[in-house]
Amino acid sequence: MKIDVHALIGEDCITLDDGQKVHDLILPELKAGRPVEIDFERVGVFASPFFNAAFGQLLRDLPGDDLNRLIKVDNLNPVGRSVLKRVIENSKKYYSDPKYRRVVNRVLDEQAANA
């Protein structure tokens, strides 16, 4: 399967909702062990909420080794690669360390209550 992110989302990959669209397309393929190619050609703006929804939460359902083997990311500019790398690192820690997950969840809950 190949996903043209620009055709699906547009040139700005920023929101959780847009990231969720990508996630919902690729998760069934990955769970079935089928490779997915994600092409970011003509996409220029990235934010961590998009990558958290699209990729980060995949680590809840799949081992990191499977993701590395099954996902191919093409045409992602250096800024996007940097954001994606940080999101993956944070997600690995979040899903593998229950203590860290509790702390993060508590901070997020406090921020939501104060908003």
* Secondary structure (DSSP) of 9-39: T-SEE--HHHHHHHHHHHHHHHHTT--EEEE
Number of separate domains in the chain: 1
| pLDDT of 101 | 87
Q: Identify the weakest region by mean pLDDT among 7-11, 17-21, 88-92.
A: 88-92
Average pLDDT score over residue span 5-17: 97
Are 52 and 20 in contact, with CB atoms under 8 Å apart? no
Q: 63-112: per-residue pLDDT in tens?
A: 888 999 999 999 999 999 999 999 999 999 999 899 988 998 898 888 88
Distance CA 24, CA 53 (A): 9
Scanning the structure block, which residue is given the tokens 């995949």? Answer: 58
| pLDDT of 64 | 86
Q: How far is CA 21 from CA 52, 67, 103, in A?
A: 12, 18, 28
Q: Give the range of the structural domain holding residue 75, as residue numbers without chain letter.
A: 2-114
Distance CA 77, CA 64 (A): 22
| pLDDT of 113 | 87
